[in-house]
Structure 1
Amino acid sequence: MKIAIVIPHPVPLALGGAENLWWGLQKHLHENTEHSCDIVSLISPEGSFWELIDSYEAFAELDLSAYDLVISGKYPAWMVEHPNHVVYLLHRLRGLYDTYRGDLRVPEHLGSKPVRSLLDWMAETDPDIERVTELIARVRALRERDLPEELFAFPGPFIRQIVHYLDDAAMAPKRIRRYAANAANTAGRDHYFPDGVPVLPLHHPPHRTDYYCEDARYFFTSSRLDGAKRFDLIIEAMRHVDGDTELLIAGTGPDEERLKALAANDKRIRFLGYVADDEMPGLYANALAVPFTPYDEDYGLITVEAMLSSKPVVTTSDAGGPCELVRDGENGFITAPDPASIGARLSMLAADQKLAKRMGAAGRDAVAHITWENVAEALLEQDDAIAAPAVVQRRRPKLTIANTFPADPPRSGGQARVFHLNRHLARVFDIDIVALCSGDTAPSRRLIAPGLVEYCVPHSERHVENLLELGRHVEGAPIDDVTAFEWWRLTPDYVQTLESSAFAADAMIACHPYLVRAIRHTAPTRPMWYEAHNVELTLKQKILTGSAAPLLPLVESAEREAWLTAERVYACADRDLEEFARLYGPTRARQHQVPNGVALETMPYFAPAKRKRLRDAAGLPSKVVALFVGSWHGPNVEALQLIIDAAADIPFVDVMVMGSVCMPFMKRELPANIHLLGAVDDQTRNALLASADVALNPMLSGSGTNLKMLDYFAAGIPVISTRFGARGLLAQPDTHYVEMQPDGLAQAIERFAEVDREACEVTVSAARRLVEAEYDWKIIAERFLQELEATGFPVPR
């Protein structure tokens, strides 16, 4: 059989992973099969709108009738016409797909009559290769008209819609005999493959075969030094690694100077610059472990190269392809994407080289099946059945969440719930979060976890003006969320984005009740679910007081409508569901308790004895350090006021306060032992969670459950809490926390100071075990999935 591997050559010419893949496959076919194989390539510039159009047209016109089989893997090569065409996809043009950040639709001022006519034609016409010639001709005709150059921006919304049409026409099932992808992560990307077709995740080997293992002297990693590879995570993780183990970084790229500046104060970090290919096996061979922490990598050959060298890999939960090969705790570690978590795993390997060696051996076994023989056999299989195990690319159910704040980064309790619950649900669903954000937020579309995309749409100028005007009459209360119930139309971009996401959604989710009408308008035929973080009316009655009180009827109307019209309601606690029924009467909705949880992988555990050692080593004062965390909600403000009132009675305690709960107190004169930190980055947060002596939770009101309690438990901080602060949790006083009376904070702290260390260790250990067993977000999401499945919602397994 005569085979053509058809590939585009970029301009300027460069050799990379794709070229090594095709050469490796060609070499195997030549040397180990009876087939002949040519690489057929065209120069394929893509630096502008018109260059990209030319490249697509060139491949569409390429005659490959002399070959028996054609294999393509990258845009625009799959435009070729052949009756025996296999697509082994590496990626589409990511800048017009999953990493695209611009407008989704062509702005009105750029839509002249011929442009609108073409856009309408594409929207009304199913992508078909037979229409490609007409499409390109109509696009070229626009070049002769006096149209704004902005229309032809690359990347931009016009070229994005054209390329989507061309790719979908080329990849249509009637043209392609078999689909494969270089990883399951690639196979699962939104819009990469036609709905319903089988896609084979097919890991390919590196182009070299001489990887080996010798010593274990340093951490080693290699790649292009750019933002997507997130070398800064690894560099910052080294601050959490004790000892003198070096980190060697091979590669060059646009981020090189910034990364060198970031590492300037750590003599253990060495940048090797460009490293010849022949030298790479030796660098892997003498590594202790390989940290590799990219964001949403398609595949990640570094993972395979490390494992072939018998080295454990430390990666992150949002790394994409590497997570398909790394088995956490077996051949490496999958951590949260933060420096402290990565550093903790690197420290563990540095301290236990037997563990590193054992994991490295398991890694080599895990990639033994990744061979050119298996790749070729799967691609060339002529029968309808695919010999290797295939993933059927049926369309995963899709959920669209309407929210009044972004979930990433997850700083507040509400953000943490939205982010962590849905990143675990995204294991089986495609999920869009469409967030209506403050006016100073840049519009964006980001993949924030595998399967989880967040759109941030800032308030329009008119929306901002309305908020500012109302804010002059409403003092001291956040109003963005409540007013969205009536003002969602003021931001047309939000309506458009929500409508676009809703088009393929199987269910719409109102996260909080305030966008329920926006959902009804944009997706009137879709099932609507209501995720209730709190009983909003109860919560807002503590916040919307004085001049803000007239907004309370909006809260009541929104919550009533969400409760009565939703098909499903899920809340943090059964008591909230009971309160909804008391306030608003019976609902037709199926009801679920989905409790708050904690992301254990982001929360290193530090028992009291270790906390003391850390504090002594850092030379911190001998005062008791207490921690209070909260967002700007009435119950948290009330609790902080209680702490402030008690401050004079606990002069031996320094209270550190984190979160937006600090905002109402920033201009007030406070006791000297109350320290307002406001919103902090993850590094500061984790440092305080690791070093505080005690956490405070003197809650007197509110609904739902307190996420801060679970964070405290997970981190190993002894907790002083009211019984109300532990509501909805399985935590018991004197077993998992120290109970305080509403007016007894000072007395409870004094009692805590007298507790012996052994008893304290018992309490925090019990609290951590409780969180591990009941409140890990992974466990909570799985229980919710089981309930959805049991009640008829499609949950792919």
Structure 2
Amino acid sequence: MKKILVLNHFPTVIPPTSGGTLRYFHIYEELSKFYDVTLLSQTYGHKQGVFQYSQTFREYKVPKDPYYYNKVVQKLQHNELTYEFAMIIQTELANYPTLYKKLYDSLYPLCHLIVHESPFLVEVDSYIRKDHKPRVYNSHNHEYMLADQIWRNEKARNYLPALFKLEKKLVKCADLVFSTSETEKDHFIKMYKANPAKVKIAPNGIDPYGWLLRKEKYNQKPLAFFIGADYPPNIESVDFILHHLADKCTEINFVIAGGCCVPFSHFTTKPNVKLLGRVRNKQKIKLFSESDLAINPMFTGAGVNLKTLEYLSAGVPLFSTLCGVRGLDLTNMKHYIHTEREDFAYKLNRYSNDPNLLQKVATDGQHYINKNYSWNSIVEKMKIEIDALLS
């Protein structure tokens, strides 16, 4: 059985809940049915070591190397652990002989194929361009374009040219690049002059069988649900819900869950808003079954939005911006209800009490997503490309 080694700057979570961990875990769980897969991840807390998920699927969770971590932070002269600097620290750590780098060097001789989940750890792979082992870039996003959209700190933005060079190097050196959508595929080809023949589509997906049966009408007032990780585009969405939608949609109750609630822990709540914070997977699934509507007021971001896939797969009627449904070829008023910043509140108020429309949109959206975006069907296509590469 061929051995695959996967490099990533964050670990899986079991069960996975956020967008990144959902893609990371499910793709390799499916691939481990055909290959021997080792994930090499980094972790902050005490949950470190080797985690064996099956005979052919395991993860090494490597703790942050305190000596080099502190050295990098000191070099950056920046103690604020924002999203931007968490990523920049990864790129800097890749240049030092960290615990992660040493473990990679020990696992490298045993594998037949190396996969990079992002460009942030490219420099860890000191053998790239120097050997004959195939490389794959399994992108979650077009990282440079995403960073250019959402990095706000001026000092952090000084690192954008370095990120551009890292991602260009990875795209150029990889024998196979998976992008999450046709749009991002085109960006990789045009921006990095990549060979179009090696850039393939591997969208984000879902497990169609993990949802509870929904009730036709659960709440007296419509309950609109949003969930997201502690991630700048999600935080922007929560801010929009709290300071715009909640005031203009007083007959709708809003429930917000996930790490995106953390920056609003001191927010003076409103009578029609509930901030739950991070929730366990069972509670998340229950919330999907009890919500009348899903909302996705996303205004920035890249890749395919996993929460959109989950909302639709669970059969929840979705109100979303175009950014929120990017890369999925959904049809307005068939698979979801299209809204933007200026008319989001208006459309919520107009359609939230139209059960026939909402049921039809929910059913059509669920059928479309479950048919086209299951992890199983996505990995079947990825396997064809990987087999060709390994042969």
TM-score normalised to structure 1 length: 0.46
User: What is the deviation of 1:661?
Assistant: 2.2
User: What is the deviation of 1:489?
Assistant: 4.8
Q: Is the contact made by 1:565 and 1:588 (CA closer than 8 Å) also made in structure 2?
A: no
Q: Aligned partners of 1:792 and 1:432: how far apart in 2? A: 18
Q: Is the contact made by 1:502 and 1:523 (CA closer than 8 Å) also made in structure 2?
A: no
Q: Is the contact made by 1:475 and 1:548 (CA closer than 8 Å) also made in structure 2?
A: no
Which residue, 551, 558, 561 being the options, matches 2:159? 551
Q: Is the contact made by 1:697 and 1:725 (CA closer than 8 Å) also made in structure 2?
A: yes
Which residue, 12, 28, 35 being the options, matches 1:429? 35
Instruction: Tell me the residue number matched to 1:121.
Output: none
Aligned length in residues: 386
Instruction: Tell me the residue number matched to 1:572.
Output: 180
Instruction: Tell me the residue number matched to 1:408.
Output: 13
Q: Is the contact made by 1:459 and 1:491 (CA closer than 8 Å) also made in structure 2?
A: no
User: What is the deviation of 1:524?
Assistant: 4.5
Which residue, 189, 209, 212 being the options, matches 1:604? 212
Instruction: Tell me the residue number matched to 1:657.
Output: 256
Q: Aligned partners of 1:605 and 1:557: how far apart in 2? A: 47
Q: How does 1:33-48 map to 2 (within 5 A)?
A: none
Instruction: Tell me the residue number matched to 1:447.
Output: 52
Q: Is the contact made by 1:643 and 1:745 (CA closer than 8 Å) also made in structure 2?
A: no
Instruction: Tell me the residue number matched to 1:105.
Output: none
Q: Is the contact made by 1:565 and 1:587 (CA closer than 8 Å) also made in structure 2?
A: no
540 and 399 in structure 1: CA distance in 2 versus 1, 3 angstrom threshold:
same
Instruction: Tell me the residue number matched to 1:561.
Output: 169
User: What is the deviation of 1:769?
Assistant: 1.2
Q: Please, which runs of 5 or more residues in structure 1 have no aligned partner?
A: 1-395, 616-620
2:342 corresponds to which letter in structure 1?
A: D
Instruction: Tell me the residue number matched to 1:531.
Output: 138
SS at match of 1:400: strand
User: What is the deviation of 1:477?
Assistant: 3.1
SS at match of 2:10: coil
Q: Is the contact made by 1:569 and 1:592 (CA closer than 8 Å) also made in structure 2?
A: yes
Instruction: Tell me the residue number matched to 2:290.
Output: 691
SS at match of 1:484: helix
1:754 corresponds to which letter in structure 2?
A: N
User: What is the deviation of 1:523?
Assistant: 9.4
| Residue 504 (str. 1) matches residue 106 (str. 2) | no
Report Cα offsets for 1:264-299 as digits up to 9, x if no partner.
xxxxxxxxxxxxxxxxxxxxxxxxxxxxxxxxxxxx
Which residue, 443, 463, 467 being the options, matches 2:68? 463
Report Cα offsets for 1:230-285 as digits up to 9, x if no partner.
xxxxxxxxxxxxxxxxxxxxxxxxxxxxxxxxxxxxxxxxxxxxxxxxxxxxxxxx
User: What is the deviation of 1:665?
Assistant: 2.8
SS at match of 1:602: coil
User: What is the deviation of 1:471?
Assistant: 7.3
Q: Aligned partners of 2:157 and 2:272: how far apart in 1? A: 33
1:645 corresponds to which letter in structure 2?
A: H
Q: Is the contact made by 1:540 and 1:634 (CA closer than 8 Å) also made in structure 2?
A: no
Q: Is the contact made by 1:566 and 1:588 (CA closer than 8 Å) also made in structure 2?
A: no
Larger of the two Rg values belongs to structure: 1
Instruction: Tell me the residue number matched to 1:244.
Output: none
SS at match of 2:126: helix
Q: Is the contact made by 2:206 and 2:310 (CA closer than 8 Å) also made in structure 1?
A: yes
Which residue, 420, 436, 445 being the options, matches 2:26? 420
Q: Aligned partners of 1:696 and 1:415: how far apart in 2? A: 21
Instruction: Tell me the residue number matched to 2:121.
Output: 515
Q: Aligned partners of 2:97 and 2:291: how far apart in 1? A: 43
| Residue 758 (str. 1) matches residue 391 (str. 2) | no
1:567 corresponds to which letter in structure 2?
A: D
2:323 corresponds to which letter in structure 1?
A: F
Instruction: Tell me the residue number matched to 1:777.
Output: 375
Q: Aligned partners of 1:604 and 1:568: how far apart in 2? A: 37
Report Cα offsets for 1:676-706 as digits up to 9, x if no partner.
3232111211111111111111222222111
Instruction: Tell me the residue number matched to 2:203.
Output: 595
659 and 471 in structure 1: CA distance in 2 versus 1, 3 angstrom threshold:
farther
User: What is the deviation of 1:764?
Assistant: 1.4
User: What is the deviation of 1:638?
Assistant: 2.5
Q: Aligned partners of 1:449 and 1:692: how far apart in 2? A: 35
Q: Aligned partners of 1:544 and 1:444: how far apart in 2? A: 32
The share of aligned pairs that are identical, in percent, is 24
Which residue, 366, 370, 373 being the options, matches 1:768? 366
Q: Please, which runs of 5 or more residues in structure 2 have no aligned partner?
A: none
Report Cα offsets for 1:53-111 as digits up to 9, x if no partner.
xxxxxxxxxxxxxxxxxxxxxxxxxxxxxxxxxxxxxxxxxxxxxxxxxxxxxxxxxxx
543 and 724 in structure 1: CA distance in 2 versus 1, 3 angstrom threshold:
closer
Instruction: Tell me the residue number matched to 1:710.
Output: 309
User: Looking at both structures, which has the greater relative contact order when contacts are Cα pairs under 8 Å and sequence separation is at least 6?
Assistant: 2
| Residue 635 (str. 1) matches residue 233 (str. 2) | yes
Report Cα offsets for 1:725-771 as digits up to 9, x if no partner.
2121132111111111232121121122231x233222212122112
Q: Is the contact made by 1:476 and 1:664 (CA closer than 8 Å) also made in structure 2?
A: no
Report Cα offsets for 1:635-683 as digits up to 9, x if no partner.
2222222222322111222222222222333344454433332321112
User: What is the deviation of 1:532?
Assistant: 1.2
Q: How does 1:238-249 map to 2 (within 5 A)?
A: none
Instruction: Tell me the residue number matched to 1:145.
Output: none
Q: How does 1:216-615 map to 2 (within 5 A)?
A: 396-409=1-14, 410-438=16-44, 440-449=45-54, 451-466=56-71, 469=74, 470=76, 472=78, 474=80, 476-490=82-96, 492-521=98-127, 524-525=130-131, 526-546=133-153, 547-587=155-195, 590-606=198-214, 608-609=215-216, 612=217, 615=218
1:406 corresponds to which letter in structure 2?
A: P
2:103 corresponds to which letter in structure 1?
A: T
2:11 corresponds to which letter in structure 1?
A: P
Q: 773-782 or 483-492: which moved more?
A: 483-492
SS at match of 2:120: coil
Q: Aligned partners of 1:535 and 1:785: how far apart in 2? A: 22
Q: Aligned partners of 1:475 and 1:708: how far apart in 2? A: 25
Report Cα offsets for 1:590-620 as digits up to 9, x if no partner.
11100110012323342x51xx3xx4xxxxx
Q: Aligned partners of 1:467 and 1:655: how far apart in 2? A: 41
| Residue 793 (str. 1) matches residue 390 (str. 2) | yes
Q: Aligned partners of 2:380 and 2:35: how far apart in 1? A: 12
Q: Aligned partners of 1:500 and 1:490: how far apart in 2? A: 16
424 and 653 in structure 1: CA distance in 2 versus 1, 3 angstrom threshold:
same
Q: Aligned partners of 2:347 and 2:231: how far apart in 1? A: 24
SS at match of 2:368: helix
667 and 501 in structure 1: CA distance in 2 versus 1, 3 angstrom threshold:
farther
Q: Aligned partners of 1:776 and 1:487: how far apart in 2? A: 35
SS at match of 1:770: helix
Q: Is the contact made by 1:460 and 1:491 (CA closer than 8 Å) also made in structure 2?
A: no
SS at match of 2:189: helix
RMSD between aligned residues: 2.3
Q: Aligned partners of 1:493 and 1:595: how far apart in 2? A: 32
464 and 492 in structure 1: CA distance in 2 versus 1, 3 angstrom threshold:
closer
Q: Is the contact made by 1:408 and 1:448 (CA closer than 8 Å) also made in structure 2?
A: no
TM-score normalised to structure 2 length: 0.91
